[in-house]
Amino acid sequence: MASLIVHGDQSGGNSAPLNRKLLCIPIMQPDPNSPDRNEHMPDDVFFEDRIHIAVRRIFEGSGADVPAQAPNVKVINLSIGDRDRPFSHTPSPWARLLDWLSYKYRILFCVSSGNYPEEIDVGIPHLDFAALTSDEKVQTTLRAIAQKLQSRRLLSPAESLNSITVGATHTDDAGAYQPMRRIDLLPNESMFSPAMRVGHGFRRSVKPEILFPGGRQLYREPVRITATSFQIDQTKVGPGQKVAWDSRQEGELSNFVSTRGTSNATALATRGAIRIHDMLVALREQQREAIPDNLMAVLMKTLLVHGARQADSAKVQIEAALKTPANSRTF
């Protein structure tokens, strides 16, 4: 996430690094029960408390001996979600905490809508699906996704009202790639990611508010030719977004991998918010524009979505897949 915020997707090699420092605060920890030591939300603490303490230390410090860490922060990236708490009707304590912190400190939280790592059942055998045209694959997959919307609900705190919730488009700058027994279920880069969670927010508000590139998410070809379900590919090879990565060799600073997901998209949205902030500061200082500091978060959120649009090809294919005579009047 830090790599994407500071440098963007390095596949194209033409994104300039930010001129600002990035403060990273760990709030998760390795899971001792996971063979890969994956990070998790510990069971012995209220996670809302951990978020509150981290943000308070940024702006106020902790007690008399610990000063504020970075009181000038204007945007916070939160590329995590609670898999055990998909949104349902009422905002979670975590989402309400973000709303309160946003208001108190006048900051913008960029929150990911969440990933859907489960398999996708397209309803037809693998060989028949592979024989479809690209448009037919897209429409078949869209119908399959539409049948499982209940299980694709947003992950808390994506329903936060003051935050901006970010989803992922099925696109990146990686170019051509080796299939390696993987298949693209949605071969249209203007479409949303097949691994993205979707759904309404509180009182049927639009969520996510905006989509940013999240990398092309491929799926593994099933072993049985009659199988109709595809498992998500979680390898760190392209396509995807090229990011800095840890190395087994001490001192190695040039290791890269390709990753995908709504977390990536949220990091790029955060990067965009920072660039908008710098533009607003320049307008205020160079052009004498009256831009109040306490409205910076609102302006960043507004300008992030101002130029958003839905590609015509995506709209056409969504309608072709899901619009019927029965729902045409309300589609």
The verdict on residue 29 lying in a domain is no
In a domain, 272, yes or no: yes
Q: What average pLDDT does range 300-324 have in this prediction?
A: 92
Joined together, the tokens standing for residue 61 give: 């410090």
Residue 56 lies in a domain: no
- The overall pTM is greater than 0.85: yes
Local confidence band at 288 (pLDDT 50, 70, 90 cut-offs): confident
Going 114 to 115 to 121 to 127, the CA torsion angle's sign is positive
Q: How confident is the model at residue 49 (pLDDT cuts 50, 70, 90)?
A: very high
In a domain, 34, yes or no: no
42 band by pLDDT with thresholds 50, 70 and 90: confident
Work out the pLDDT band at 319, boundaries 50, 70, 90.
Answer: very high
Containing H/E element for 110? strand 108-112
Integer Cα distance of 170 and 25 in angstroms? 29
Question: What is the per-residue DSSP string for 268-283?
Answer: HHHHHHHHHHHHHHHH
Residue 116 has pLDDT above 90, yes or no: yes
Q: Please check whether residue 31 lies inside any domain of the structure.
A: no
Checking if the pLDDT of 63 tops 90, the result is no
Q: For 121-147, how does the pLDDT look when each residue is reduced to its tens digit (9 = 90+)?
A: 999 999 999 999 999 999 999 999 999
Q: What are phi and psi of 6, to 5 degrees?
A: -80, -40
In a domain, 125, yes or no: yes
H-assigned helices in 106-188? 126-130, 134-146
Q: In the sheet that 219-220 helps form, which strands lie side by side, from edge to edge?
A: 120-121, 229-232, 219-220, 182-183
pLDDT above 90 coverage of the chain, percent: 75
CA distances from 330 to 126, 230, 324 (A): 34, 32, 10
Dihedral class, residue 61 (left if φ above 0, else alpha if ψ from -120 to 50, else beta): left
Contact call for residues 207 and 159 (beta carbons, < 8 A): yes
**Closest C-alpha among 159, 143, 156, 262 to residue 204:** 159
Question: What CATH number does residue 286 fall under?
Answer: 3.40.50
Q: Range of 313's domain?
A: 2-23+73-322
What distance in Å separates the CA atoms of residue 115 and residue 131, rounded to the nearest whole number?
28
Element (H, E) at 267: helix 262-286
Mean pLDDT within 26-51 = 85
Average pLDDT over residues 7-17: 86
**Domains identified in the chain, total number:** 1
pLDDT class for 259, splitting at 50, 70, 90? Answer: very high
Mean per-residue pLDDT over the chain, rounded: 92
Tens of pLDDT along 99-114? 999 999 999 999 999 9
Please state, in angstroms and rounded to a whole number, the distance separating the CA atoms of residues 93 and 185. 36
Report which DSSP code applies to 233. Answer: P
Is 111 a member of any domain? yes
- Angstrom distance (rounded) from CA 245 to CA 183: 25
Which is it for the CA torsion 40, 45, 49, 55, positive or negative?
negative
What pLDDT is recorded for position 217?
97
Q: Predicted confidence band at 21 (pLDDT cuts at 50, 70, 90)?
A: very high
Instruction: Copy the structure tokens of residue 102.
Output: 């946003």
**Would you give the end-to-end CA distance of the chain in angstroms?**
36
Task: For the beta carbon of residue 35, count every other beta carbon within 10 angstroms.
Answer: 6
Looking at residue 14, its pLDDT comes to 73
Q: What per-residue confidence (pLDDT) applies to 199?
A: 87
**pLDDT score at 129:** 95
244: how many CB neighbours lie within 10 A of its CB?
Answer: 16
Is the pLDDT confidence value at 66 over 90? Answer: no
